[in-house]
Structure 1
């Protein structure tokens, strides 16, 4: 439960139709297994204590009493755990029968939630036995204790206020207006669905889309427990297709025609953060809901859910290829519109032989093609200086040649030396002025060539550099349209690789692959024996770590201690705790200190879930203090 993460389970026990003793025992065994795994919530299928396919036997008092006896035994077997168990059974209330979910903890029923939408079509005849949920909240007596009964019940964890449970049952999700909508609006962050969905061809994929889609719409965790082995096969077959989703992402899924547990973790803090961020997410205060508190001891939940070390990179190669194509198209569409609107005669791109400028040039080529203009309307400017190596200069020249763009080579060394003389700068002192003067001279050259050719300067800086402030103010920080502005460094590599894989030009492919193999560097310090001396990741840290920090710390608002925990889990033994903590401190220090550069960024297209544009996703005062964040990291460092 620490960091807002709870371990959850959905389970399909084997059932015997109408054998409540057997079914209760199977539920209890599954509950014990879930508790042993550290689960704080277990959801069982619809009418599991009787079996869903009992038909008119549901009208028999013997079955109804047997279901209550099975529930009592389940309560007895789970009274020594604080895990919440949600079990399905029929309940008789004031002469009517309801298909219910019993929310149980510590040997007690916290509440009973009846099903709202009863299917009475096709193979389903629930209205023959059951009554739909009524409006309002009633009370029912179970073993001498009064229990809340109604569809507007919420169950809230006292120790973790972000963990609020709501319940709906099977068809409720498939209906036009599922109860989970109002439950989420009233504060539920986790929805349990007790289901008995029979299996037909292709239904599993529809069910999967339904569950993940609802979790996305409601920004919630969604737990779907499906009936399976042992249900009557007279007219239907049940597959026990269990699902766990969070905000549109499928975290866990059982195989079909299996029994047992599916376990994962729900991050309630992350869900709450996203709801705060989305001002369109509704909140209905009160509105007739009853909030029932429960208590669970705080403990650290062992992570098993996927946490990618490259959160901006899809693990599926096909999804990655689609994303790359989409991103390049977005870049090209944005730049083509800007070129057309500004009546620019040329697009001017500084090409260094590095990754970012290669991507910017590739996107510019696409933009010109989209605008129906020749590639020769692109002016690629190569500006060697003190740190430029033959490798990068040669790669820049070959890249421009193979892409068929105009090329201008402007050696800026003499101009920078004159500038040093003008400002009284000792060129032997290779300090920040030594470096930044080169970056600003390059930007001046680009701007003046754009004036000379009636053009527009295309920026090359990426999202990771903007997050770290790894850009020279009014140097490479500035352009007229930044096509890479919302693309993290780890993704830049894949975009260039994507283009290399597509091209039929062997020489172009070769040079792109060599650019991918070149160390990331601004090349502002003299090379040693022809090799790059200044390697960015040696100075600011590994970009794969910084992109991870950016995603979890900024996009999802995770506190530094949680970012550290997730990073340790995601990167395993690749980086030890001390290394991750060192670069995490550096990330927060730089992120706060360098906001002034982001406050005056050029325009550029948003392509993914993270952008630092001051006109879009990120608004932050340039003089905000990092003290709280760094203090938390300092305490973690002292803990060792």
Structure 2
């Protein structure tokens, strides 16, 4: 039978600063793990605060409330008789650390600070935290009284140590430490650690999951061991979507995997494993020699706990055995586009109090993709309802404006769409019948509430006003106008669409007598390549509240739409694929039809290459040119490559200012040009309920002591 142990890891939909909500989800995950027979539960990184607090990690309140919530968790009856690993920020000797707190039966065993911090791309952990740079060392942490009164401890170990139970040994990694060349799992394994947990806050990017899986399987395939990977899930209040997919792996074999995209707030996965398999796997003499050499260094402190993770002989049912390995489950990139932004949009909508979404539907592929992603969101909501997910059921009734106590439930994605999704075709004399018809059919097929209008009178009114004031009538280029006139006349149309979008978004719920109150959130539909090139008008209809496709390339969007034709049974999408991308802001003549790629001077496929070389490969103009000589040398001459490179960097530079006001975009590609810096705080907030409760309790305390007036009056001082 060996030494069978049941272990649990989880994905939690935490929300930055939602202290009580986050704590409730943590306790629920521990309850589920316990019900499954687990003796160890591992949770995501910084799960008490939520990972995305950003500059709120600089505030003392964040640390205070974290300890208050940990006190709730530690003393909860559910959280007893098992080893629990919780993530939270900790201040030690006036230094802020990203920590894991491991406790058992109201006793803290170790506070383990993160040793290698994520500090590139979307991550700026060095802005908030200091890494623990003393491997294999611990010191005393003087415990906060609110927790010490529960645990009976004055000090607890703080630093890099391992937990030794009666039957095995546990080491801890945190997120980035898995991605480093010399991760802690290597010395841990050589020191005899058999179980390694990893609390993570890893966001979704297209095609990224296989990187995580490969790193974990390779780490355990080389040194053996059991690896528990926990991850944040959901929006968390900012641009990133944390995609869950918690996993358990033993000796390079996956034995448990959670969902990558889910509307569940709490997802726990468990596996039963035989520790003896780890010991057998580690029998190679070369490994033994390396372990012997490694342990000549300062040894890890082993913190002992009088508890066994494995089942006693005779306790396990005869039919109980180790979980079977299986191959990892991956979504195709097209599915990732369908699911990632959809789950992000639902998280945002259910938490922000708005009545739904509004999209200016132009009949082009970008706004089409945005609309289809919202439809995908509605499909996921219906799946949640069919699975009897009570959180989804409660949320959909509230978001759709149903009165309290209503038993209404939608049965199709179109029903949900019709309640919360609004589209509008804003045509002008420069619009074509084809785009108008495509927009109308798509809206009908997905169930959206659609408005079709012409805005020529509004456009003409502005141009007439300008002409009246200046005695100058601007003309399009095809009518003999200058480049400046041509751009101005296009921008008037584009910016008016933004103004109209917000008017309709604010008033359509009133028109439709939506009971829930609140307006609609306007969704943008500029793809990452347009932003990279600056091919958009500042404060036009690309200006919105959110942009689900803002970090997705045109190439990937077209693949997504081609996939959705059959996957979502939307034949009209084929027409969008075959249409020439155009802004439709200039007059159509017998010899001229405006084209995006002609206007930009590069194709969307070429823009995607420039974006990857600029950001991911970190190449400047010269190095980009050299690289493209190899990539494009068979297709273009060196001069053509030079012209394209110069053209791209010229427009990238002069349009960079547009990125400072770019609509917040769902993050999906590493080469996103979005500007997001300086005061780093999320833009979707909970209601600060816990802080308000503390204030109210404090007010009551002072009132109970007779302090009901101002300080000066209380002291009998003159207040005139």
Q: TM-score, normalised by structure 2?
A: 0.41
Structure having greater relative contact order (Cα 8 Å, sep ≥ 6):
2
Larger radius of gyration: 1
